[in-house]
Each structure stands twice: as C-alpha cells, then as structure tokens.
Amino acid sequence: MIISAKATLAGVMGWPIGHSRSPRLHNYWLQQYGIDGAYVPLAVPPERGEQAIRALPALGFRGCNVTVPYKELAYRTVDRLDPMAERMRAVNAIVVAGDGSLEGRNTDGFGFLENLKAGCPDWSAAAGPAVVIGAGGAARAVVVSLLDAGVPEVRLANRTRARAEELAAEIGGAVTVVDWVSRETALEGAALLVNTTTQGMAGQPPLDLDLRALPVTAVVNDIVYVPLTTPLLAAAAARGNRVVDGIGMLLHQARPAFAAWFGAEPQVTPELRRFVLEG
C-alpha cells in the first residue's frame, strides 16, 4: 500500500524490536481498511528511551506501543494515565493528543480477557479461583483484569515469593500468594490456570508444573505464543482441559490502540491470526 505525505504514523518502541509482530498486525489492518497510514518498528537503545518518547509529537506520530524495556519508563514519562495504566503501573500504548501531550494507556488486560473469551466463550469469572504463574508485568495485567472481571480469588505463585507479595500488595483485593513449592497444591479447585512467565517459550525450558491436581473442567491459558502450543498447553489438552493459546492476547490488545490512532475499530479474524502467525 502506498502512503502519502499526510499519512498517520504510529509504531512500536522497544530494544530489541526485530521480533515484534505488531508492525505486521497493524499494517494488515491499515491495508484492510484502506487507511493512509503506517506503523513502524522503533528500535531505541535504553539510554534514549525517555528522549524518544518525548519526541513522538515533534516527529508527527499519533502514538506508539511500548514493549520491553519501556513499559515502566513510559508510565513515568507520559503526561497523564488512563485508569488501567495507573493501576498496572505500566504503559503499553501512548496516544499523542492534539495539544502534543502524551497519554499512557494499558490494553494488556483487555487483550488477555478478550482472548480468553474468544478461545473459551463459556468461561465465567465466577466459576472459581484462578491460579496465575509469574509476578512480572504480564502477571500484573492478568491479575488486575481477572479481579475486575469478578474472579473470587487469584492464587499467585512465583519462584521469588517476595516479588509476588509486592505485586499482591500493590494490586490489593482477593490475591493469595502461594509458595513456589506449593504451586501444584494451589491448582486444587481452580477454574483457570494462566502462565505469564516465559517458561515454555522457544529456547526456554518448559514450565515446571504437574497438572494432576487441576480439575479437568479448568481452562488453561499460556500467554506465550512461540510456539503456539506450549508444553503446558499440550499437557493440559492431553488430559482433557480446554486450552487457550497466547497469540490472541497480542491481537486483541492492539484493537483499542489502533482505534485511537487510526480512527477505525478493527476486528480479529481467523485470517488475521493466520497472517500474523506466518510472520
């Protein structure tokens, strides 16, 4: 698609950034909707992060996504925050206002829930406790969104208990921190299991978790999407659990940002999913 000198610009900022599938995703939508715009990768070294974020209005950008290592930096740098970014203490999307000010938003929780609902339409937050593995930025988004959706209890397990306790204290609500050695016991009676760590990602060891205590009625989600079927999802499916892979979280979290920058409400379709996975 040929763009004009009036094209609307957005992008994704990170270091490194070559692995990101966001340019493939957003440019697919731009072409699909016939929008004069472009979404570009912004490889910014860590020492230039704040400078790059502040330069977005001067460069004519409507906004950008931010990924590792910039979600917390963006939280501290923007002029204002939406309620979800405030709660999560992290920003994954920046919107440049007409006056050049920067608004930080967080759509990760939205993407997580939309993916869960799409992959398992009859999932109900009220069905029972959720077990979340990990205590990083992705875990924060997952825990907050689950609590907001009405999950009665989130059992949070992380190799370093102190980090899980810190996250639980900051979020508040019905979060129970579980010792790593007790992570499998925490599966008893759970209605949902979510892996938010990188364990199971290509090049990483599989998640060390025995599923025998997990009810077969529970839904299992892994936010990792390379590979699409992680060892955790393969083990869960083999025993009869319904599974939801991680690619949909990426696709759905992009929807609100695309709408804010480019003025169209994009849809996640099977064709889009295939296209992004091919990249």
Residue 2's pLDDT is 82
Residue 146's pLDDT is 98
Which residues on adjacent β-strands are paired with residue 10? 39, 63
Residue 279's pLDDT is 79
- Indicate whether 98 and 16 sit together in one domain: yes
Instruction: Please state the domain count of the chain.
Output: 2
- Write out the two tokens for 134: 């990990």
- Indicate whether 54 and 159 sit together in one domain: no
The residues of the chain scoring below 50 in pLDDT are none
Residue 230's pLDDT is 97
Q: List, edge to edge, every strand of the sheet that includes 61-66.
A: 37-43, 8-14, 61-66, 93-96, 102-105, 80-81
- Indicate whether 100 and 120 sit together in one domain: no
- Indicate whether 116 and 100 sit together in one domain: no
Range of the domain at 56: 8-106+253-278
Residue 231's pLDDT is 98
- Indicate whether 183 and 214 sit together in one domain: yes
Residue 137's pLDDT is 87
CATH number for the domain that contains residue 261? 3.40.50.10860
Residue 31's pLDDT is 97
- Indicate whether 218 and 122 sit together in one domain: yes
- Indicate whether 102 and 115 sit together in one domain: no
Please enumerate in sequence order all residues whose Cβ is within 8 A of that of 172, keeping only pairs 6 or more positions apart, or say none. none
Residue 160's pLDDT is 96
Q: List, edge to edge, every strand of the sheet that includes 175-178.
A: 175-178, 154-157, 130-133, 192-195, 219-222, 242-244
Residue 17's pLDDT is 94
Q: What are the binding residues?
A: 20-22, 67, 92, 108, 134-138, 158-163, 223, 225, 246, 253
The verdict on residue 1 lying in a domain is: no
Dump pLDDT digits (tens) for 166-200. Answer: 999 999 999 999 999 999 999 999 999 999 999 99
Q: What are the binding residues for shikimate?
A: 20-22, 67, 92, 108, 225, 253
Nearest Cα residue to 67 out of 28, 39, 94, 95: 94
Residue 10's pLDDT is 98
| Separation CA 149–CA 257 (nearest Å) | 21
- Indicate whether 58 and 160 sit together in one domain: no
The verdict on residue 3 lying in a domain is: no
User: Is 71 in the active site?
Assistant: yes
Q: Which one of the listed residues 26, 62, 71, 183 is annotated catalytic?
A: 71
The verdict on residue 52 lying in a domain is: yes
